[in-house]
Amino acid sequence: MRAARLIKMVLLLQSRPSMTAGELARELEVSERTVTRDAQALSEAGVPVYADRGRAGGYRLIGGYRTRLTGLARGEAEALFLSGVPGALREMGLEDAASAARLKVSAALMPSLQGASRTAAQRFHLDAPGWFQEPRTPELLPAVADAVWDDRVLRARYRRSAEEGAREVERKLEPYGLVLKAGVWYLCARVAGGGAHRVYRIDRFTGVVAGEERFERDEEFDLPGFWAERAEEFARSILRAEVVLRLSPAGIRRLPHVIEPASVAAARESAGEPDGQGWVTVTVPVESEEVAYGQLFALGPDAEVLAPAGLRERIAEAARRMADRYA
């Protein structure tokens, strides 16, 4: 346990100019006193850890010290080769760079671990796009990815959605990060000069130009956290209508397979007590009555729409026509 912590401490100091005892303690999840003891142990083992005294002091490695990758265990080496998504790297134009990096890592590993790349590739494959859709790589994705990597300001023409008027606008953007969601690429960026971060679909860009101008990245920006927050907001924003349902026990089990997770969570929160046959009444937020019709009809006799009346009648009429068809 301590050996793994010492290795992590060396790698942390290797990746930054210096770190305070408090920063190391938080990263390693130990006390500052333990950090002091670990630094002394590394120094005694020949690792040149130097402690700067004073309020602005901290720990750093001296003499350009670099550790080698020979300390990797087989599981760690295999996980390293799983850390990228091959298809995504190819679409961003980074396939050659990733291939070269994998070769260099393989060359640095001990002979007993050099098969880790093939071991991982033959056991795990990541396929990001959803089912029943043809994945298409946006033509401008590599140019946008280059701007993201280099923190370069992007001048872009963007086609708004139909709800926003479907018109084309020009923006000067600070591109912070790319997200691949269910086969669709998104750019998280903010308008140059400040303002809130926003999300843009890459396939709606009609032109991008990245010059030499660079922007100062906000170091507090957290891409995973920002995306999770925006994704939840989007999922809730499209649920503009409500449907009241009675569900059988089977209907309750099948509900997550026909509606969005946010709607399922809301339905569970609103669920009343089961009746004598186990049926429960729930309120389900939906995108529209039209969308709800297609989703809830799939539950068949395990669901009864109580409201709105128009949707209830529409499903009842469809059920009558189906019964006549199979009579």
For all residues of the chain together, what is the average pLDDT?
83
Average pLDDT rounded to a whole number, residues 55-84? 67
For residue 118, the model assigns a pLDDT of 66
Q: Residue 295's closest CA among 268, 277, 314, 271?
A: 314
The sign one gets for the Cα dihedral 24, 27, 28, 33 is positive
Residue 77's contacts (CB-CB under 8 Å, 6 or more residues apart) are 109, 113, 116
**Higher confidence at residue 133 or residue 81?**
133
For residue 314, the model assigns a pLDDT of 94
pLDDT at 4 over 70: yes
pLDDT at 217 over 60: yes
For residue 272, the model assigns a pLDDT of 87
For residue 245, the model assigns a pLDDT of 94
> Can you list the alpha helix ranges (DSSP code H) found in 166-288?
223-237, 249-254, 261-270
- How many alpha carbons lie under 13 Å from residue 300 in its C-beta half-sphere? 5
Among 82-86, 143-147, 166-170, 280-284, the least confident range? 82-86
**pLDDT above 70: percentage of residues in the chain:** 79
Cα separation of 300 and 293, whole Å? Answer: 11
The sign one gets for the Cα dihedral 214, 218, 223, 227 is negative
Question: Would you mind telling me the total number of residues written for the chain in this entry?
Answer: 327
Cα separation of 200 and 130, whole Å? Answer: 20
Per-residue DSSP letter, 16: S
Q: pLDDT for 252-300, tens place per residue?
A: 999 999 998 889 999 999 998 999 999 999 999 998 899 999 999 999 9
Q: Residue 2's closest CA among 43, 27, 38?
A: 38
